[in-house]
């Protein structure tokens, strides 16, 4: 058995397979939540399957379990590859793997029975928090040691993002989760919302975003067979991301009685986020310029490119909805849910999937079981998510405008029914996509055609 845990890139593979698995679990919980908003009497009165408990299982499993896990998996491959060395310790990466997945499994196991800290994105109970932090610290150490043992002089941009994601999370997560208050995981009083949304915003911003950006920086130049467009732009994008993104958590509680100067900071920096986002996006698009056919023709790179497209939409929307005048209508309703889905599934999830399919043959030494299934998954998820974005945005505008004009929440409920029904129907498409993907991953590992040494070398060298 010990041999098994020493096998090069085995931890990377384990993270990716687990990510594909959690995607299915998360989608199942999402499906039931969507059904409950249509028909609350469906599966009624089942304690572990009540909306208030299943929704956090869905959200956390998707964020940490699917997007996070899968992105870490591809990173554990590209970090040593880019540094021309081996991962410093494969066993340590396995320890991270087990710790990380224990925390994620604690979602369905604990929340369903009322064991939760109840703060959005910080629900995991205290012991699971500690386990996750340990896992992150080990990843920091492992990555740092891998960097130290590199044979390639230059640190490529993907390495910065991967390393920094965990450096930030190691400070961010304990702070946002107020881990020095084990019982509640919260500060007393209004200030808790600042701690909460500091992490609530940095989870997408300083964990998922850098991991996904790093993965995109790895896959796009390889798929386009072009060198990165500009080193300077990647530097700018990196430093601006951390300088600005970390300031804007306040826009989640913009209309609450938090101090005004914080609101001002969060609005100004939210709008300024246009700059780093455009830099990253431009840099990647320019890298792929005139290679459209190669990039969009490769099912894995297509997912990454589409993820970048979703990133653009998300980050046009983001600064707009942080403007107080607009947020009066868009806050508190399905508009935000639409934004969150194109951000997490569209940007984070697409790039995670694309990077995984790109890396999987290199890690397993087997070609993908089916390229067609990757394309099918792309189609199913794209159909589902585009639909989600449209119906949730529409529902959100209906709610927001109706409320703003003096209609009560209850009175608007019947107007939402068609949108809730469409969202549940579209959910079937995403759930199917998740299942197809998991099947494809498992079959690749078990039954993919073994690649010859020559093919493998060719694949690895593309960088």
333 lies in the binding site for other proteins (CB under 8 A): yes
- Could you give the CA distance from residue 379 to residue 434 in angstroms, rounded to a whole number? 11
**92 CB-near residues (< 8 Å, 6+ apart):** 138, 141, 142
CA distances from 163 to 14, 159, 169, 238 (A): 20, 6, 10, 12
Interaction between residue 179 and other proteins (CB under 8 A): no
| Footprint on this chain of ligand HEM (rule: CB under 6 A) | 120, 204, 208-209, 251-252, 270, 273, 277, 314-315, 318-319, 321-322, 327, 330-331, 336, 339-340, 343-344, 347-348
Nearer to ligand HEC, 52 or 182 (CB): 52
Partner from other proteins, ligand HEC, ligand HEM, none binding residue 434, C-beta < 5-8 Å depending on class? none
Nearest distance from C-beta of residue 141 to ligand HEC, angstroms: 41
Cβ proximity to ligand HEM: between 198 and 347 the closer is 347
Which residue of 11, 99, 167, 343 would you call a contact of other proteins, by CB under 8 A?
167
Return the residue of 8, 52, 259, 324 that touches ligand HEC, per CB under 6 A.
52
Q: Which does 319 bind (CB under 5 to 8 A by kind): other proteins, ligand HEC, ligand HEM, none?
A: ligand HEM
Within 76-115, the residues that bind other proteins by CB under 8 A are 111, 114-115
By CB under 8 A, residue 118 contacts other proteins: yes
Q: How far apart are CA 244 and CA 46, in angstroms?
A: 44
Name the residue whose CB lies closest to ligand HEC: 52
Q: For the chain, how are helix, strand and coil distributed in percent, rounded to 5?
A: 80, 0, 20
Between 314 and 399, CB nearer to ligand HEM: 314
Site string for ligand HEC, 400-419 (x = CB under 6 A): ----------x---------
Angle between helices 350-364 and 371-404 (to 10 degrees): 160
Considering only residues 42, 43, 51, 239, which one is a binding residue for ligand HEC as defined by CB under 6 A? 51
- The H or E element spanning position 201 is helix 192-202
* C-beta separation of 346 from 387 below 8 A: no
Size of the site for other proteins (CB under 8 A): 89
- To the nearest whole angstrom, how small is the minimum distance from the Cβ of residue 1 to ligand HEM? 37
Cβ at position 319, least distance to other proteins in Å? 18
> Which letter does DSSP use for residue 405 in this model?
T
Q: Which does 60 bind (CB under 5 to 8 A by kind): ligand HEC, ligand HEM, other proteins, none?
A: none
- Alpha helix positions (H), 225-321: 231-245, 260-272, 274-287, 292-297, 299-321
- Residue 56 binding partner per list ligand HEM, ligand HEC, other proteins, none, with a CB distance cut-off of 5 to 8 Å that depends on partner kind: other proteins
Nearest to 390 by CA among 346, 446, 432, 352: 346
User: φ, ψ for residue 273 (rounded to 5)?
Assistant: -60, -20
Please list every residue from 252 through 291 that binds other proteins, using CB under 8 A: 252-253, 255-259, 262, 265
Helices of type H across 111-227: 126-148, 157-176, 192-202, 209-224
- The backbone region for 284, taken as left when phi is positive above 0, alpha when psi lies in -120 to 50, beta otherwise, is alpha
Residue 404 interacts with other proteins (CB under 8 A): yes or no: yes
Question: Angle 209-224/157-176 helices, nearest 10 degrees?
Answer: 160
Other Cβ atoms within 10 Å of 355 Cβ, number: 31
Residues lying near ligand HEC in the complex (CB under 6 A) are found at 51-52, 410
């Amino acid at each position: 058995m010990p041999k098994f845990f020493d096998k090069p890139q085995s931890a990377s593979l384990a993270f990716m397979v687990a990510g594909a698995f959690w995607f299915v679990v998360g989608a199942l919980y999402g499906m039931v939540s969507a059904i409950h908003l249509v028909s609350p009497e469906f599966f009624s009165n089942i304690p572990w399957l009540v909306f208030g408990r299943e929704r956090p299982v869905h959200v956390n499993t998707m964020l940490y379990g699917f997007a996070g896990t899968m992105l870490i998996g591809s990173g554990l491959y590209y970090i040593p590859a880019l540094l021309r060395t081996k991962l410093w310790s494969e066993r340590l990466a396995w320890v991270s793997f087990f710790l990380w997945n224990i925390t994620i499994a604690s979602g369905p196991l604990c929340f369903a029975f009322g064991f939760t800290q109840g703060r959005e994105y910080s629900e995991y109970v205290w012991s699971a928090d500690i386990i996750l932090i340990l896992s992150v610290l080990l990843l920091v150490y492992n990555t740092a040691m891998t960097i130290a043992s590199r044979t390639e002089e230059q640190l490529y941009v993907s390495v910065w993002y991967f390393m920094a994601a965990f450096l930030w999370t190691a400070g961010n997560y304990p702070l946002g989760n107020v881990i020095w208050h084990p019982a509640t995981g919260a500060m007393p009083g209004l200030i808790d919302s600042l701690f909460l949304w500091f992490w609530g915003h940095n989870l997408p911003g300083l964990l998922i975003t850098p991991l996904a950006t790093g993965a995109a920086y790895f896959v796009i130049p390889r798929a386009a067979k072009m060198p990165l467009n500009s080193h300077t732009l990647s530097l700018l994008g990196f430093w601006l991301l951390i300088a600005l993104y970390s300031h804007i958590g306040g826009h989640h509680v913009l209309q609450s009685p938090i101090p005004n100067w914080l609101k001002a900071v969060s609005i100004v920096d939210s709008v300024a986020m246009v700059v780093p986002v455009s830099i990253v996006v431009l840099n990647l698009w320019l890298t792929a310029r005139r290679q459209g056919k190669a990039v969009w023709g490769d099912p894995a790179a297509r997912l990454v490119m589409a993820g970048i497209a979703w990133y653009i939409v998300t980050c046009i929307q983001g600064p707009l909805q942080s403007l107080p005048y607009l947020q009066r209508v868009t806050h508190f309703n399905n508009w935000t849910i639409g934004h969150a889905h194109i951000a997490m599934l569209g940007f984070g999830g697409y790039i995670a999937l694309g990077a995984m399919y790109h890396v999987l043959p290199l890690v397993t030494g087997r070609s993908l079981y089916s390229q067609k299934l990757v394309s099918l998954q792309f189609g199913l998820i794209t159909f589902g998510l585009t639909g989600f974005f449209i119906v949730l945005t529409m529902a959100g505008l209906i709610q927001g405008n109706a409320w703003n004009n003096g209609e009560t929440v209850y009175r608007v409920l019947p107007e939402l029914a068609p949108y809730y029904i469409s969202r549940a129907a579209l959910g079937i498409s995403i759930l199917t996509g998740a299942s197809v993907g998991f099947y494809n991953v498992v079959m690749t590992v078990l039954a993919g055609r073994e690649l010859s040494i020559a093919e493998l070398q060719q694949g690895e060298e593309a960088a």
